Amino acid sequence: MQDEYRTVAREGVHETEINRSRFLCALAPAATEREAQDFVARVRKKHPTASHNCFAYVIGADAAIQKASDDGEPSGTAGVPMLQMLLRRDMRYVAAVVTRYYGGVKLGAGGLIRAYGGAVGETLDTLGTVTRRRFRLATVTVDHQRAGKLQNDLRAAGREVRDVRYGDAVTLEIGLPDADVDAFRGWLADATAGSAEFALGGEAYGDA
């Protein structure tokens, strides 16, 4: 499994003009293929008179789902260059739609490939990207008396406390890089005089 991936920082649109044709590239984060499809449909609905609404999306940290559409442009000149740009930039969980308003000048296959791929690249540069890194979820269970100090100690050590649950004891959920698990066990034992329970959970991705 990939240790990290990048995704778009936010939803947005960037416009370029090439030989009088307008290219509007819309990008959005998409957690699932359904979200990607809904975003494509939303952009198409917004531009019903456009010459083309070409799209590409990549879903999954390992890019398990990849789809692209030329939407009437010559085969391989729009959706595939868009998809290749996303993959070249290590983008995941992202959908791109490039809306073209034809300006009367034909660009040729090479020109279209550069225009569609370039529109995605420029928009990524404009909107910015964020890196997500893989980590292990873990829970620390400690008595109420120690919980407040432990939370402060965790934050001071640069550990993100993702969730806190109060019951008979206090359960803190944190995220740890795999390489840090053993060192963290030792740190926790020292910080709580061995009184805390530690349990590893599944994997997730978070801000690097």
Look at the domain 131-207 and name its fold.
Answer: Alpha-Beta Plaits (3.30.70)
Task: Check residue 1 and give its pLDDT.
Answer: 52
Task: Check residue 2 and give its pLDDT.
Answer: 62
Burial class of residue 38 (count of CB atoms within 10 Å of its CB; 0-12, 13-18, 19+):
middle
Which CATH code is given to the segment(s) 4-127? 3.30.230.30
Cβ atoms of 138 and 173 closer than 8 Å = yes
Query: Tokens 């030989």 identify what position?
Result: 19
207: confidence class by pLDDT, cuts 50, 70, 90 = low
Percentage, residues of the chain above pLDDT 70: 96
Residue pLDDT, tens place only, 52-93: 999 999 998 889 999 999 999 999 999 999 999 999 999 999
Domain residue ranges of the chain, discontinuous segments joined by +: 4-127, 131-207
User: Pick the residue with more confidence: 177 or 27?
Assistant: 27
112: confidence class by pLDDT, cuts 50, 70, 90 = very high
